[in-house]
Amino acid sequence: MDFFNFHTHRFTNQPLILELVNQYPHEFDSTILFYSIGIHPWYIDENRIDYDLKIIEEKLQTKNCLAVGECGLDKRIEIPLEQQMKVFEKQLALAEKYQKPVVIHCVAAFQEVIAIKKKMKISVPMIVHGFSKNNQVAQQLIKEGFYISFGKYLLRNPDLKTVFQEVPIDKFFLETDTIDESIEQIYELASEYKNITIRELKDVIASNFRKVFER
């Protein structure tokens, strides 16, 4: 692995990049090498929840499935938060059972996600993907044991520079999510912001990968 793309919806199958590709249970693609699988809060279907959870549990028992997710909470959608929380908690229970890290989607619900982590006593790593908030939120998440992944908003929002600079070197990942830019471009900007070389950044990410995915 030369580069690690923590979260992407596009499988490019490049030899130097380990891509953690987001998969949905009802659209599973067996040609993807390494993936996370989960029920995204946007796509909760009451008629399919049990089926989706069954598929997730099956895949979590395979070596190519590296994580649960993306899953989480989103207060800006019409699906009731209570229902989202139930589905989220069921996936966290599976993550604990199979000792897999969790890719978190969180919109305007950080306090709820933190509270659920505490209530369920989640021991596996939880990583908030696509972070775009301020330093206060970032530091609270880190204090509560979360990792943070940066990508699109790091490229798009210059205000995130200082937030990213304050995140400890052992607590972050980088990702492309749905954007057209490459993971190499994100590494380049991240190395500039952290004032380290690309080689040093690769070593940092590789170390974080080992801690989270090779436990």
Residues of the binding site: 70, 105, 129, 177
Q: Cβ-count burial of 205 within 10 angstroms (0-12 exposed, 13-18 middle, 19+ buried)?
A: buried
Distance CA 28, CA 148 (A): 26
Annotated binding site for a divalent metal cation: 70, 105, 129, 177
